[in-house]
Each structure stands twice: as C-alpha cells, then as structure tokens.
Amino acid sequence: MADATRDFFHSLARRGHDPRLKAIGAGSVRFDVSRAGQVDHWLVSIGDGDVTVAEEPTGGDAVVRADRAVFDRIASGEAYFLTTVLRGEATVEGSPRIFAVIRRLFPPPPPSGARRRGGGDA
C-alpha cells in the first residue's frame, strides 16, 4: 500500500537543493501528522535552498498540523495545501514568512476539472 505522506517527505529529503527556496534564507517547519491517536513528526529545514528532513518531535519556526488522511491528499496532489488551511483541515502556527514558502514544497493545485469530479478542492 502506498504511503503518500512518507513518500512526500522522503522525496523532499532526496531533493537536497531547491532554488525556489533560496530566497527565504534559513528556516524550518515541523509537520505533525496524526492518525488513530498517533502523531508522526517531520522537521523540514531549509538553508539557502538546501532541504533536509528528519523525524523530530520538536523544533520548527512554523508548525503544520493535519490528520493523516488530509495530509495524504495534500502530499499526493489531490488537495492543495493552502485550500486545506483555509478550510481548517490543516493548521499552521509560527512564522508567516515560512508559511508563504512552504506552499512551494507541495504539488500544485489539482486541475479545476479534477476538483469538480473528485470533490477535492471545489
């Protein structure tokens, strides 16, 4: 069975350097992803465009919290990160500067036809 969340964070770790993130300088985001009473923690650190990922329960200039089903949809591109935050399906706390940049880590919004058919981000 595919694990969209784990695959997403592993792909970020393999990315290594992302020039789109260079402008933010340095910062980190902790993702707290919950399922069935358990919480997985992923700390994504960005420094001059270099991306590192660790499973850490503390830290982060910003913290994103979401249920695993919601985050799986975000990580797989079925839902758009910003839309889930605006709907209250995911929350973000901390640095607004980091929040503006972490949107770039995720797949782009699904095509509008896919949103209508799949019921995702209408």
Quick: pLDDT tens for 52-73. 999 999 999 999 999 999 999 9
Q: Over range 85-104, report the average pLDDT.
A: 87
State how many domains the chain has: 1
Is residue 33 pLDDT above 90, yes or no? yes
Q: Please, what is the average pLDDT of the chain?
A: 86
State which residues form the domain around 33. 4-106
- Does residue 113 lie within any of the structural domains? no
- Does residue 102 lie within any of the structural domains? yes
pLDDT band at 102 (very low <50, low <70, confident <90, very high): confident
Task: Specify the CATH number for the domain of residue 102.
Answer: 3.30.1050.10
Is residue 5 pLDDT above 60, yes or no? yes
Burial class (CB within 10 angstroms; exposed 0-12, middle 13-18, buried 19+) of 61: middle
The model's pTM is: 0.84
